[in-house]
Structure 1
Amino acid sequence: MSSGITVILYHVKDLDRAKALFGKFLGVEPSTDTPYYVGYELGGQQIGLVPDAHQHGQAGPVCFRDVPDIAAAHQALLAAGAESHAEPHDVGGGLLVASVKDADGNVIGLRQQP
């Protein structure tokens, strides 16, 4: 696996409200602003807002780590005792994401760049 957490996603119910709050909190304008994702670049880190909290029923952030081989990384976490949350899949433009849950239900994200 590569080093560092590269993306932190927040699943939100109201994207406009969250965008106003995070804009003030982070002190920057969004670098990506679409109806399905608002992203901020801050010190080499991406903070993203995804308007799907009602689908995930999940509160709190999900941290993603970039990996060179998402299938292998996903399998390694499953072998270490994690439960699959989302199998590796393409979210557009060849960007692959996957996630697992630890024994306490925390979601851990993986991301592979195209």
Structure 2
Amino acid sequence: MTGTTTQGIKTVLHPVSDLPKAKAVYAALLGIEPQTDESYYVGFETGDQHIGLVPGGGPQGLTSPVVYWEVSDIEAKLAELTAAGATLKDAASDVGGGRLVATVTDLDGNVLGILQDR
């Protein structure tokens, strides 16, 4: 199979109902304090991965954790995924710092995230 490269899991977002309590649990789990600590988002950097806590599921409406795979070319990967049968959920958008994110759903409705850092 040819196509764009997937470099591995980069980010996992977790919807949470109580951000302060969730922050305490994840800080205890990871053994570090968050690097981003805002009312709308708490993020932890651990190794090469980012763990994000999104209160109320955020604007994405998350109802379960979403894993974001890092890719070298997000538009090409979206084309590959939809050609393989995935359905576009959220088109690629810049979430700051040149990071592009998008989501698709697989044939069973599971949400798959992809991201590209510039």
TM-score after normalising by structure 2: 0.85
Amino acid at match of 2:24: A
Q: Provide the rounded CA distance (Å) in 2 between the counterparts of 1:30 and 1:54.
A: 18
2:41 is the counterpart of 1:58: no
Q: Provide the rounded CA distance (Å) in 2 between the counterparts of 1:111 and 1:54.
A: 18
Q: Provide the rounded CA distance (Å) in 2 between the counterparts of 1:40 and 1:5.
A: 15
The alignment's C-alpha RMSD in Å is 1.6
> Runs ≥4 in structure 1, deviation > 3 angstroms?
none
**8 Å Cα contact 1:36-1:50 kept in structure 2:** yes
Match of 1:44 among 42, 48, 51: 48
Q: Which ranges in structure 1 are unaligned for 5 or more consecutive residues?
A: none
Q: Provide the rounded CA distance (Å) in 2 between the counterparts of 1:54 and 1:45.
A: 20
Number of residue equivalences: 113
Q: Which residue pairs with 1:31 in the alignment?
A: 35
Match of 1:4 among 5, 8, 16: 8
SS in 2 for 1:18: helix
* Equivalent residue runs for 1:57-76 within 5 Å: 58-59=63-64, 61-76=65-80
**8 Å Cα contact 1:13-1:52 kept in structure 2:** yes
Report the Cα offset of residue 2 of structure 1: 2.9
- 1:57–1:67 CA distance, 2 compared to 1 (3 A): closer
2:108 is the counterpart of 1:104: yes
TM-score after normalising by structure 1: 0.88
Could you report, residue by residue, the CA deviation over 1:36-68 in whole angstroms, capped at 9, with x for unpaired residues? 221112222111112242751512x11111112
Q: Which ranges in structure 2 are unaligned for 5 or more consecutive residues?
A: none
